[in-house]
A and B are shown apart, each in its own frame.
Chain A
């Protein structure tokens, strides 16, 4: 399984044709206490860059974009009951949704973990 990162602070785990998407530890730290996550419906089809989810912290609402194109096959229902999972475990149990990858070549432009770490350090 490979993990990719975007400059919008999302992570993507790709296993076969399924990609799991969440926000990074850096992102949750910046957002602060998360109180609500609005997730996409199963079957929703996104182009890369579409608004896919909304994460609400105490202070503000922020969009989460689809990092690659694809169809939503599952959303993380655990976040409805416990949105704070995004704060406590952003890069594992706090995942947002799973996509069936439409175009694997879109992954080529994304960062690997080392590149993302370097990117965050430069902010």
Chain B
């Protein structure tokens, strides 16, 4: 047998780096693969079981490969508003936003989370950013190039990052750090656990309630052990992280997003608040304006698939004889119980309910443009 498109084949020549929890993963029975330049656990007991566990209980993900950046200095908000299309000046302390880095043509260089710090977290830095692991060094280079000298960027590679995700994540997190019970979706705070400072945000990338926890690398194993000692928590690998985020309709950089595509086409316009759309002043604004007025040429859409055969990344999408797009993520969705996909199609074929076909190994299978998420989000928001 030969793997056609295993996650491991995405890796290149460079030797893989070990993350702080490397030995811990192996001791837990993880199968390790190369991802974003690191040895990462793709699964422990199995993707389906880990996926289901996260939807029902709480899964612990090691996302220490992601880049954690701190920003401080005179004019940091103004400087970041040049780099990011999102409202930074209006971002209150302990609040987090989804945003992205755009190039001069409005193409997406990376997607990220940005928050305003407080309580002296991370040596008093003002803004905290989490960027994708595979792109972090390019991001850092891009930002160094575009930030004024007064703004200091610190790559906090001494910090590990864990994500605790699932309907029981709230109970589990509160068992160790009671104060986290107060946090709502996209809020964060500085907490102390056994003398260890933890920057915890109520967010994640599975569509479930949960947390992302920045912890000093030398304490991450202690924390991972304490979390996994709770009855609600099991470690979950990259494989289930991918199927969970796909069901949640969340794009994965390098697959569903890249520098060829735009914010509006990606259906991520919510990341650009009204003031920023109108005033501009960020790199890539011209394309955003144009696509808001004229519509993007292609659009990111969800696709439901007829039958059981999964359509995977790279599969071409047709309307009759015409090639109209390409699948950028796809696979069997464990919670849905059927194959689903995300892809880019030309605008005339992007409306919900449009019937299309996807070619898989020379066969056409039926697909329909479907609303995302495929599995409803269950974030903990303020009760209205």
What is the interface of chain A, defined by CB distance below 8 A to chain B? Answer: 8-10, 23, 27, 31-33, 35-36, 38, 54-65, 80, 83
Contact = CB atoms under 8 A, between A and B. Distances in A.
A8 B1 contact: yes
B2 A35 contact: no
Counting chain B CB atoms within 10 Å of each CB, the highest count among A10, A31, A58, A65 belongs to A58
Interface string B92-109: 000000000000000000
A97 to B, nearest CB: 14
Interface in B202-244: 239, 242-243
Contacts of A61: 3-5, 310, 312
Contacts of A9: 1
B46 A33 contact: yes
A58 B239 contact: yes
Contact of B310 (A36, A63, A65): A36
Contacts of B49: 33
Given A27-B1, A54-B361, A55-B1, A60 B6 contact: yes
B360 to A, nearest CB: 9
Nearest to B42: A59
B331 interface: yes
Nearest to B6: A60
Nearest to A53: B1
B308 interface: yes
Contacts of A58: 47-48, 51, 239, 243, 331-332, 334
Contacts of B3: 60-62
Contacts, number: 70
A63 to B, nearest CB: 5
A62 B4 contact: yes
Q: Identify whether the interface residues of A are mostly helix, strand, loop, or mixed.
A: strand
13 contacts: A32-B46, A36-B309, A36-B332, A55-B1, A56-B309, A58-B334, A59-B6, A60-B4, A60-B7, A61-B4, A61-B5, A61-B310, A63-B1
Interface residues of B, number: 26
B201 interface: no
B304 interface: no
Contacts of A32: 43, 46-48, 239
Closest 8 A/B residue pairs (Cβ)? A35-B332, A33-B48, A58-B47, A62-B1, A61-B4, A60-B6, A36-B308, A60-B3
Nearest to A62: B1
B361 A56 contact: no
A54 B360 CA distance: 11
Interface string B1-29: 11111110000000000000000000000
B351 to A, nearest CB: 29
A58 B43 CA distance: 11
Interface in B51-80: 51
A60 B309 contact: no
A56 B2 contact: no
